[in-house]
Amino acid sequence: MNETIMAMSGIDWAYLGAAVAATGGGIGSAIGITLVSNAATGVVTEDPDKFGRILPLAAMPGTQGIYGFITALLVFIFFGVFEGAVDITAHEGLRVFFACLPVAFVCMVSGIYQGATAVGAAGMVARRDEDAGRALIFPALVETYAVFSLIVTIIMMLYVTTG
Amino acid sequence: MTRIRAIADPVRYGFAVGRVRVLEGRLLGHTTFERLLDARDYDRQRRILADTVYADHLEGTATPDDVERALDASLVELYEDFLEHANLPDPIVAYFRTRHDFENLKARLKAEALGMEIDGLLTPLGSVSPEVFGGAAERLPSGVREAEARIKLTLSGDDDTVPPEMIDAAVDKEMFASLSTIANESKSEFVQHLVALEADLGNVRAFVRGRVRELPVADIERALVPGGVIPASTFVAYYRLPFEEGVNRLSTSRSLSLADPEAIADPARLDVALDALVAREIRAHRRTSIGPDPVVSYVLARRAEVTALRTIIIGTFSQVPVERLRERVRDVS
């Protein structure tokens, strides 16, 4: 195991970072959407007119997966993976890997908890149509930290490419 | 564990809670009950209920029997359309259905003991088809069959004619033992708490009614059901004390801490006081964001609503004074 790690090249570390970011964000979104969609389906079963008001809540945990995807794309674009010729040192690759971690972990956790928060918000919308706007705010607060993690990841990657 | 629950509960109960959030908005409010009480005429009451879930069931009804059947049908619909199609874990469904199986078992044993026809005594709300209870014991599900065997063994030592209240007590013991097992399987603290509370309140009823009828301690011991927080030995010890003192001491227990001891000591106010305790529990758990609590609370609230409707409508047919009906109608909204 140690030998495999020591033998990893710069691009191997960068790929690992991209994979971890996309996977973490994807897991968070998949679980988060499942949680809120269950409740949303129940609400719409009893009151189909609420579909439009519930949909933004169900879609909200999907952003974490998008942030993971963006992070992976940035790794590929910044380090010329699409152009074919990739030449980064193991040290740089490791820094890219670390840069991907904020999105990987924060998006996984926040996606799940945003889904759990959105379940309660769906209950608010089910009771009163007028609360649809307010109901979006609470899950959106969880989103803040996913956005912060993406910003930190981008800044760290910019530092790697320019520094 | 808490983290696993944060994911598991929305997955298990999300769909049902979503439905409940819409359906609880359709529960009848205090104003509707007041209007029904003031109507004093069944046609007017039916018009008040025209926009509710009961409208279809009450259509064409004219007599108290029709109303009883219509309200039973609304409960059957609640169990079949909601409970069975809400992707709920089996123990949660069993918590509601099993008590009706034991209700049917009571009917079976009483019909047998008193030589009555069982038809008309059975409810369709259980997990087992009511026809099964009219047939041979071998057709009963194993749990109910074993309970019946144990009950018959308990009652076999008594006289040839077993009084119906002894059948009730024996079946209730089996039912609460079964409900306690179901509550533990449900892993829901709320369901476990509710079963314990129901057992305690059932025992309080037996305690108070026993004292009023001056029954011997042995009869009370036989009537006490398992599964409560207050041990049977405590009930027996307090039963030997003067009535007021016994009730006052019982009132300090956790289950009864919010009840008025004077109401508990008064058999005419006892049921309302104890039902208010259950209603308070239900209201407290309705607001839980996710999990079994809102679902269980909703079904119990609907059951209480049907009971209140039954009291008001049948009371109106029987010309019971409004104030008396008002006292008996539980605050379910």
The CA distance from B281 to B164, in Å, is: 31
Q: Which of B56-60, B196-200, B258-262 has the lowest average pLDDT? A: B258-262
CB < 8 Å & 24+ apart, contacts of B155-163: B161/B113, B162/B113
Work out the average pLDDT over B128-151.
89
Nearest to A41 among B18, B20, B21 (CB): B18
The CA distance from B313 to B36, in Å, is: 8
A 10 A CB-CB count for B9 gives: 21
- What pLDDT is recorded for position B332? 47
Q: Report ipTM (2 d.p.).
A: 0.81
For residue range B261-292, list pLDDT tens digits in order: 888 888 888 888 888 888 888 888 888 888 88
- What pLDDT is recorded for position B157? 67
Nearest to A38 among B6, B18, B25 (CB): B18
Is residue B185 very low, low, confident or very high in pLDDT (cuts 50, 70, 90)?
very high
| pLDDT, mean over chain B | 88
Contact present, A39 and B291 (Cβ < 8 Å): no
**Residue A129 per-residue DSSP state:** G
Which residue is listed with tokens 């790697």?
A160
**Pick among B4, B12, B13, B17 to test the A interface (most A CBs inside 10 A):** B17
CA distance B299 to chain A (A): 15
Contact present, A107 and A72 (Cβ < 8 Å): no
Q: For CA atoms B183, B184, B187, B189, give the dihedral sign.
A: positive
Is residue A151 very low, low, confident or very high in pLDDT (cuts 50, 70, 90)?
very high
- Going by C-beta distance under 8 Å and a sequence separation of 6 or more, which residues neighbour residue A134? A124
- What pLDDT is recorded for position B268? 82
Choose from B78-92, B144-158, B184-198 the range with maximum mean pLDDT: B184-198
For residue range B212-239, list pLDDT tens digits in order: 888 899 888 888 999 999 999 999 999 9
- Going by C-beta distance under 8 Å and a sequence separation of 6 or more, which residues neighbour residue B160? none
CA distance to B257, B264, B281, per residue, from B261 (Å): 9, 5, 18
For residue range B232-242, list pLDDT tens digits in order: 999 999 999 99
Q: What percent of chain A has pLDDT over 90?
A: 72
pLDDT at residue B299 greater than cutoff 60: yes
Phi, psi of A103 (to 5 degrees): -65, -45
pTM of the model: 0.84
**What is the per-residue burial (b if ≥16 Cβ within 10 Å, else e) of A32-68?**
bbbbbbbbbbbbbebbeebeebbebbbebbbbbbebb
DSSP string, A107-123: HHHHHHHHHHHHHHHHH
Tally the C-alpha atoms within 13 A of residue A137's C-alpha that lie toward its C-beta: 5
Nearest to A38 among B15, B21, B24 (CB): B15
pLDDT at residue A77 greater than cutoff 70: yes
CA distance B248 to chain A (A): 41
DSSP 3-state assignment of B307? helix
The amino acid at residue A132 is: A
B116/B146: higher pLDDT: B146
- What pLDDT is recorded for position B331? 53
A 10 A CB-CB count for A134 gives: 12
A 10 A CB-CB count for B152 gives: 14
Work out the average pLDDT over A104-118.
95
- What pLDDT is recorded for position B333? 47
pLDDT at residue B42 greater than cutoff 50: yes
**Residue B78 per-residue DSSP state:** I
For residue range A11-64, list pLDDT tens digits in order: 899 999 999 999 999 999 999 999 999 999 999 999 999 999 999 999 999 999
